[in-house]
């Protein structure tokens, strides 16, 4: 019987299989690294693209914020101009008021009354003065009540006083100013 020693042949086959295993393992590792690099590159591209979009959006948001701030500043300027316009219009409406007031007082103050002060606070006027008698004060109040420009005279106080060695009545009263109506304003402008 012939005996064949197959050990070297088996060993060669084992070596070849080991080599194939290492080559395939190396190839798989290389393919895994290549796939990892490609996936990393793709994800890095997505991230970079998203960061560019985010930067663009931040730049646009900053532009819109600056435009909103400009609009807010312009609205504040408009509000300031409108308030100035209203002040000017109210001054325009009341510019002849003091002349008209003094003219009405000159017409309505009866003889025997001396006004020592006239003070206007908004639509109210405080009159203070001296009268020869209390009846002169009531005549003044009736005359002021008949005025279309003055309204609701109200007596604050009347007291006896001495002026230049003469006995007089010292009085103070409040009178309201009636604003001219739109029809009267239109008639006065024509």
- Cα–Cα distance for residue pair 46/59, rounded to 1 Å: 20
| Residue bearing tokens 């312009």 | 74
- The domain spans of the chain are 1-95, 96-189
| Residue bearing tokens 């807010």 | 72
Residue with the larger pLDDT of the pair 57 and 94: 57
CATH class of this structure's domain 96-189: alpha beta
Lowest-pLDDT range of 55-64, 94-103, 109-118:
94-103
pLDDT confidence of 183, banded at 50, 70, 90? very low
Per DSSP, the residues of 26-82 read: HHHHHHHHHHHHHHHHHHHHHHHHHHHHHHHHHHHHHHHHHHHHHHHHHHHHHHHHH
- pTM of the model as a whole: 0.49
Q: How many CB atoms lie within 10 A of CB 81?
A: 10
Lowest-pLDDT range of 60-69, 76-85, 145-154, 180-189:
180-189
**Percent of all residues in the chain with a pLDDT value above 70, rounded to a whole number:** 92
Mean predicted lDDT score pLDDT of the chain:
85
- Which residues have C-beta within 8 Å of that of residue 97, sequence separation ≥ 6? 177
- Cα–Cα distance for residue pair 176/145, rounded to 1 Å: 10
Identify the pLDDT of residue 96. Answer: 73
List pLDDT tens digits, range 112-169. 888 888 888 878 889 899 888 888 888 888 888 888 888 888 888 888 888 788 888 8
With beta carbons less than 8 A apart as the criterion, state whether 181 and 189 touch.
Answer: no
- Which residues have C-beta within 8 Å of that of residue 113, sequence separation ≥ 6? 129, 130, 131, 132, 136, 137, 140
Residue with the larger pLDDT of the pair 103 and 64: 64
- Cα–Cα distance for residue pair 108/146, rounded to 1 Å: 9
């Amino acid at each position: 019987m012939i005996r064949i020693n197959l050990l070297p042949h088996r060993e060669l086959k084992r070596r070849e299989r080991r080599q194939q295993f290492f080559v395939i393992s190396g190839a798989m590792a290389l393919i895994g690294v290549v796939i990892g690099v490609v996936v990393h590159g793709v994800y890095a591209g997505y991230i970079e693209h998203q960061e560019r979009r985010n930067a663009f959006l931040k730049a646009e948001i900053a532009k819109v914020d600056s435009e909103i701030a400009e609009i807010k500043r312009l609205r504040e300027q408009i509000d300031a101009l409108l308030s100035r316009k209203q002040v000017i219009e109210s001054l325009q409406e009341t510019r002849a008021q003091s002349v008209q007031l003094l003219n009405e007082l000159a017409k309505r103050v009866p003889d025997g009354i001396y006004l020592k002060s006239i003070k206007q606070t908004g639509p109210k006027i405080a009159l203070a003065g001296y009268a020869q008698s209390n009846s002169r004060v009531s005549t003044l109040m009736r005359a002021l009540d008949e005025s279309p420009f003055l309204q609701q005279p109200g007596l604050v106080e009347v007291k006896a006083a001495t002026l230049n060695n003469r006995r007089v009545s010292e009085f103070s009263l409040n009178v309201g100013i009636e604003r001219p109506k739109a029809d009267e304003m239109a008639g006065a402008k024509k």
